[in-house]
Amino acid sequence: MNPLTHDWVKKAEEDFLVASLLMRRKKPLLFNGICFHCQQCVEKYFKARLHEEKIPFPKTHDLVLLLELLEAVEPLWVAYIPIARNMTNYAANFRYPGENATLTEAKLALKNCKSLRAEVRRSLGFKK
């Protein structure tokens, strides 16, 4: 694995750990942070996969755009576009006043994050 790909994976795993730890907390409830870190985890994993294939990508938080770039090497991943569209919103929506994530949204974000994380990790050659 390319060293920079490994760095992307390491950063993605940090976001996954933060989201997982926040979900386990009883108080305070930090659903906004869970959604944000789930989005960041998936974004970084997509960028790791792109980097490993030497596919250039722009500086973006748009998971749909990243998936579209990945279509050349992972054509079946287009099925994840609805999830990616929803998760892209977590990059900013809950980071500023006006909207707050719910427990339901946080649980769904973590579930989708786990699923996408597992898919990318398999494609990068990780056993789990």
Q: Where are the domains of the chain?
A: 3-123
Q: What is the pLDDT at residue 128?
A: 66
Q: Which CATH superfamily is domain 3-123 in?
A: Nucleotidyltransferases  domain 2 (1.20.120.330)
- This model's pTM is above 0.75: yes
* Integer Cα distance of 31 and 35 in angstroms: 6
Report the C-alpha gap between 83 and 27 in whole angstroms. Answer: 28
Query: Are 44 and 7 within 8 A, CB to CB?
Result: no
Give the mean pLDDT per block of 10 residues along the chain (128 residues).
95 98 92 97 98 97 98 96 96 88 96 98 90
